[in-house]
Structure 1
């Protein structure tokens, strides 16, 4: 009888180890779905300036610093200079690439045309990893750019310019 009891105990431990091993090899949960939402919090604004006949460039960096070169004079009134601000909501650790598209044409309604290039990002590069601890807290992305004012503006340059630039926020 003693031998029979011992055999049952051995089968029990053998069965226990098999079940434990099977549970250790269970499939992991699927990855958390990646959802990215981008909201515009502030528009890109170059402030007030006047341009001569030779044209030039006006740049606003991601940290709201304006630089001017060429035949352009800075004016210190009107709208404040500011980089664009986008709030990016995503899971912590999401890799995001910002895709910008060349030069954008801006018009004033009087026949004037200037050109915008987005070239300054607070993320340093156009690819970054979200750092906010939750999807409820935004990752702030500041974007600056450069206006190219052509030299052959033939008197149509004055005015308020508007246009739309396109950025894609691609998650990986």
Structure 2
């Protein structure tokens, strides 16, 4: 019996040792979220003429141009293209694209037309980055619509330039 008591005491001692050992792990620090956006190609609506009743010219995110109203698309002149932004971020980063509404573009002669960004290759303004690492760009194509007002003053013709601002907000 004496040897049975030794095993019993040893069992309780081992049980006590295992119950006192505390296992702890520290969570890895969060991966720093850095987002870099580079413009690779500008949004270009190409060449067109507008009649006196105006209309709209749109370029979709995939570079297709359409028009409505009193607009005639011309094949000569500037090439049509959606804007292209290269977004560098860690895989799985959630990014929201924010714009600031309608942008006024001018021609220097007093003419004004209006730009709205409304077509994104991501399908919506919020997306998750898909590239396998932060050194590879996530290509985001952006299209928009020009609203050409009806104008009889003669200052509408010309070449229009302007800028728009997009914020790429990471979460």
Q: State the TM-score, normalizing by the size of structure 1.
A: 0.89
Q: Which residue does 1:114 correspond to in 2?
A: 113
Query: How far apart are residue 144 of structure 1 and its match?
Result: 0.2
RMSD, aligned α-carbons:
1.9
Distance across 1 between alignment mates of 2:57 and 2:164: 17
In structure 2, do the counterparts of structure 1 residues 144 and 49 end up closer, same or farther at CA, with 3 Å as the change threshold?
same
Partners of 2:124 and 2:37 in 1: CA distance: 18
Corresponding position: 1:77 with 2:76: yes
Which residue of structure 2 lines up, in the alignment, with residue 124 of structure 1?
Answer: 123
Give CA-to-partner distance per residue, 1:54-93, whole Å, 9 cap, x none. Answer: 1100000000000011111110011110000001111100
**1:112-159 deviation digits (Å, cap 9, x = unpaired):** 110000000010011111100000011111000000001025111121
Is the 1:112–1:153 contact (alpha carbons within 8 Å) kept by the matching residues of 2? no
After TM superposition, the structure 1 = structure 2 runs for residues 1-172 of structure 1, keeping only pairs within 5 Å, are 11=13, 14-15=16-17, 18-19=20-21, 22-23=22-23, 25-172=24-171
Number of positions where the alignment pairs a residue of Structure 1 with one of Structure 2: 169
Shift of 1:11: 4.3
Please give the alpha-carbon distance, in whole angstroms, between the structure 1 residues aligned to 2:74 and 2:35.
39
| TM-score, L = length of structure 2 | 0.90
Q: Which runs of no fewer than 5 residues in structure 2 stay unpaired?
A: none
Q: Distance in 1 between matches of 2:50 and 2:13?
A: 91
